[in-house]
Amino acid sequence: MSRLRIFAEDNPNTPLQTTDCHVAIVAALEKIGVAFERWTPTHPVKPGDAPEQVMAAYREDIDRLVAAHGFQSVDVVSIAPDHPDRVALRAKFLDEHAHKENEVRFFVAGGGQFSLHVGDRVYEVVCETGDLISVPDGATHWFDMGEEPSFVAIRFFTEPDGWVGYFTGSDISRRFSRYQPAQAS
């Protein structure tokens, strides 16, 4: 189940707010410029499926979003718990960074956790199957897929280079909790 927890940046142990109500999540994230939608995945895929298989299954949704938002590239991250590079892939996204474009992800299987650092708050968003999140360009954040990642996400980019992170050098992400799928439900 999707969940939002909001923390003071100097207190990673006690959330100021916790909700798993979709309407409340949307309203809270909207205030900081983050779009959060709930879609019904129409084609079953599973972590570890080939990107080509996922792209073919969701071609209609992909084409619709590309046309509506002018995305220049689309890719798929499909990682099962036994992926040989899971540790390195997880580490790539764990430090606070930003992008020069919106970070748009549609989770078609499994889940992960985006943590956004906005002002003096940290917004911890657990995304699950069916969640589409759009983090605005320039928003500092990090992403955790967990120790045993199990998710498939379609990523949309306005820049043809795909994912390019600009790291802040802050250690804030190390002070906050990591994604724990068992705790997310």
Q: Return the CATH number at 125.
A: 2.60.120.10
In eight-state DSSP terms, residue 40 is -
| Total number of domains constituting the chain | 1
Least reliable range by pLDDT among 19-28, 44-53, 121-130: 44-53
Q: pLDDT, tens digit, for every residue of 102-157?
A: 899 999 999 999 999 999 999 999 999 999 999 999 999 999 999 999 999 999 98
Residue 146 lies inside a defined structural domain of this protein = yes
What domain range is 125 assigned to?
3-166
Spell out the alpha helix ranges (H) of 45-167. Answer: 51-57, 59-69, 86-93
Is it the case that residue 34 has pLDDT exceeding 60? Answer: yes
Query: For residue 133, how many other CB atoms are within 10 A of its CB?
Result: 24
Residue 179 lies inside a defined structural domain of this protein = no
Is it the case that residue 183 has pLDDT exceeding 70? Answer: no
Sheet holding 103-110, edge to edge: 35-38, 131-135, 103-110, 151-157, 73-79
Residue 161 lies inside a defined structural domain of this protein = yes
Residue 82 lies inside a defined structural domain of this protein = yes
Question: CA–CA separation, 54 vs 56, rounded Å?
Answer: 5
Residue 113 lies inside a defined structural domain of this protein = yes
Residue 176 lies inside a defined structural domain of this protein = no
Least reliable range by pLDDT among 10-14, 39-43, 154-158, 172-176: 39-43
Q: What pLDDT is attached to residue 159?
A: 78
Average per-residue pLDDT for the chain: 92
Residue 42 lies inside a defined structural domain of this protein = yes
Residue 9 lies inside a defined structural domain of this protein = yes
Place of tokens 């309203």: 27
